[in-house]
Amino acid sequence: MSLFGMLGTASRALEAQRFGLDVVGNNLANVNTPGYNRRIADLGALPPSDRYSAGRGVEVLGVRSTRDRLYDQRLYDEAPLEQQQAALADSLGLAEVALGGAGTSIDSDLAKFFDAFAELAEAPTSTTARQQVVTEGDALARSFTSMATRLNDAARATDARVREDIANINVLTSRIASLNKSIAASPASQTLHLRDQQTETLKALSGLVGTQVLELADGTAQVMTRNGRPLVMGADSYALQAVSLPPSGYAAVQAGGVDITAEVSDGHLAGLLQVRDGALPGYVAQLDTLAHGLATTVNALHASGFDASGTAGGNFFTPPTGVAGAAAAMAIDPALRADPSRLAAAGVATPGDNAIARQLANTRDTALAGGKTPDQAWTSLVYAVGSDVSRAKTEQASRADIVNHIEQVRDSVSGVSIDEEAAMMMRFQRAYQANAQFFTVIDETLQTLLSLKR
């Protein structure tokens, strides 16, 4: 190769090393950018122009990002499972807090209620004991209603989060669609940063709702729900709607007018729906069964007795209209509240008798409808909530480990290592210095050649 040709080689080499440094700089600059995949400068040796040449030096082939689709796909698959359990643990945690601690919740109100009857049984004619039964009955009824309210509030709060999730899903799908549009419109080498964003957005979307992601040859992504409902097709996104449905007014998830609430099987949204439509109503139903059983049993016993004036007993609690809503509607009979002498403690029409008060006190050990005593029914509700939360937490922790592991492996492939970049930096710097030296040598050689003519 001619000396002038070698000058060209040297300058291409300087160019290539500078490019390498450029890539290193970019990697270092993005060391903390979420979703950034390490870039690699691709250099290639140029072939010799003729058989008397070693080669024409180096050329920049381009820049590519190091990415393993497998790990991305695994993340899209695992993120929904992890997020679902996270949503379950969070939202059920609210219900768990609502239940209150042992000794400060319905358990202690039940105990006080039955204790009051037992005290009444010892002194059936005492106005204080009568008043106490009425007060404790009132407190118990209020505990039930406020517990039902708290659980329903938790369901409403979860519904609000369902709507938030749907809004977030729509933001993410429209972002993916616009990324698709930009990716499709530019050459592949110009869209590396867009692809990074795309991966990151897809990951966030998968956390919210389980998806099927199909990456097309042009780098765009097609996203569908697990059941094949389109979310993103090319540059178009299909928004989900939150439609309030009677009677609860809770949001149903609709895609293009079709109710897909039941299809959402994983992801954060699915966890919320599970809590709102499954777990919380189940807890309320358990509470209702207890309230209904207690109110009807107490009422039946109370009605079979006689009050302080020898009149047959009336209602103790306002009779529940049905099992559903019994806890929320629980209240002590207003006439009884106004006049505790109407409390029927006696089994015969003599005011000093205590047969009914005793039986009412012993209701604490009586199996209500459903085969459980009041305490057992309450305990099993607490156990149900506690074990649901505990299961969700455990499941979430193990899912989080899996996600973490995948991210770690993914990082190992795609992440930026500062040491590695430092080594690369040194490599390109030294190469640059060497090539500059080579340039000087050629220059001096040319000088020598030119000076021959003098």
Partner 1 sequence: MYRVTHNTLYRNSLRDIQSTAEAFARAQQQVSSGKRLQRASDDPAAAATGLRERAEIRSVDRYRQANDSVDSRLRVTDTVLSDIVTSITSAQTKAASGRSTVLTAEQREAVALEVEGAKQGIFAAINTSYRGVYLFAGADNTAPPYTKTGATVSAYQGDANVVQVDISRTSTAAITVAGDSIMQGSAGADLFETLDALATAVRAGDMPAIDAGMIELERAFNRVTAAQSGVGTTLSALPGEKARLDDLRRASDSRRSQAEEISLAEAISEMTRAQQAQEAAIAVAGTNQKTSLLDYLR
Q: Is 341 in the site for partner 1 (CB under 8 A)?
A: no
Among 162, 368, 389, 442, binds partner 1 (CB under 8 A): 389
**By CB under 8 A, residue 226 contacts partner 1:** no
Contact status: 264 vs partner 1 (CB under 8 A): no
417 scored as a contact of partner 1 (CB under 8 A): yes
**Segment interacting with partner 1 (CB under 8 A) among 119-127, 164-172, 282-290, 312-320:** 119-127
CA distance 69 to 355: 77
The residues, ordered by sequence, that sit 6+ positions from 377 with a Cβ below 8 Å of its Cβ are 286, 289, 290, 293, 368, 370
Contacts of 434 (CB under 8 A, 6+ apart): none
The residue ranges of DSSP E strands in 13-150, in sequence order, are 39-45, 58-65
Question: Side-chain half-sphere of 9: how many Cα atoms within 13 Å?
Answer: 24
Among 141, 255, 280, 361, binds partner 1 (CB under 8 A): 361
Beta strand spans in 365-444 (E): none
CB of 290 to partner 1, least distance (A): 13
Residue 349 Cβ vs partner 1, minimum distance, rounded to whole Å: 9
State both tokens at 385: 């909530």
- Identify which of residues 183 and 357 has a Cβ nearer to partner 1 in the complex: 357
Q: Which is nearer to partner 1, 263 or 339 (CB)?
A: 339
DSSP of 245-277, one letter per residue? -TTT-PEEEEETTEE-GGG--SSHHHHHHIIII
Query: Per-residue x/- marks for partner 1, 36-55, CB under 8 A?
Result: --x-----------------
Q: Residue 221: count other Cβ atoms within 10 Å of its Cβ.
A: 24
Q: Which pair of structure tokens corresponds to residue 195?
A: 């692809």
Cβ proximity to partner 1: between 262 and 422 the closer is 422
Candidate residues 76, 378, 428, 432; the one interacting with partner 1 per rule CB under 8 A: 378
Residue recorded with tokens 């079709």: 258
Give the whole-angstrom CA distance, residue 298 versus residue 363: 8
Select the residue interacting with partner 1 from 13, 87, 110, 406 (CB under 8 A).
110
369 binds partner 1 (CB under 8 A): no
Tell me whether residue 103 is exposed, middle or buried, using C-beta atoms within 10 angstroms of its C-beta: 0 to 12, 13 to 18, 19 or more.
exposed
Measured from the CB atom, is 57 or 374 closer to partner 1?
A: 374
Q: Which residue has the tokens 């569908």?
A: 224
CB of 127 vs partner 1, minimal distance in Å:
9
Say whether residue 271 binds partner 1 (CB under 8 A): no
Pick the piece of the chain touching partner 1 (CB under 8 A) from 136-144, 269-277, 325-333, 381-389: 381-389
Choose the stretch contacting partner 1; rule: CB under 8 A; options: 4-12, 93-101, 186-194, 443-451.
Answer: 93-101
In angstroms, the Cα distances linking 110 to 31, 104, 305, 373, 386 are 60, 11, 21, 11, 20
Is residue 309 part of the contact set for partner 1 (CB under 8 A)?
A: no
Of the candidate residues 382, 406, 431, 442, the single one contacting partner 1 (CB under 8 A): 382
| Chosen residue from 3, 31, 70, 312 binding partner 1 by CB under 8 A | 31
Cα angle, residue 95 at apex, residues 92 and 97 outer, rounded to 5°: 110
CA dist., res. 441 & res. 439, Å (int) = 5
CA distance 447 to 90: 77
Interface with partner 1 (CB under 8 A), residue total 67
Angle at 381 between CA 377 and CA 382, to 5 degrees: 120
Report if residue 325 touches partner 1, rule: CB under 8 A: no
Closest CB 160 distance from partner 1, rounded Å: 23
Q: Which of 291, 343, 385, 406 binds partner 1 (CB under 8 A)?
A: 385
Q: Does 196 help bind partner 1 (rule: CB under 8 A)?
A: no
Q: What is the rounded distance in angstroms from the CA atom of residue 231 to the CA atom of residue 266?
A: 15
- Is residue 354 within 8 Å of residue 301, measured between CB atoms? no
Q: Does 114 bind partner 1 (CB under 8 A)?
A: yes
Q: Which is nearer to partner 1, 44 or 352 (CB)?
A: 352
Report in angstroms how near the CB of residue 111 gets to partner 1 at its nearest.
Answer: 4
| Residues 12, 320: Cα–Cα separation, whole Å | 89
| Type and span of the H or E element at 334 | helix 334-338
Residues forming contacts to partner 1 in the complex (CB under 8 A) are 31-32, 38, 93, 96-97, 99, 101-103, 107-108, 110-111, 114-115, 118-119, 121-126, 346, 348, 350-355, 358, 361-362, 364-365, 375-376, 378-380, 382-383, 385-390, 393, 404, 407-408, 411-413, 415-420, 422-423, 425-426
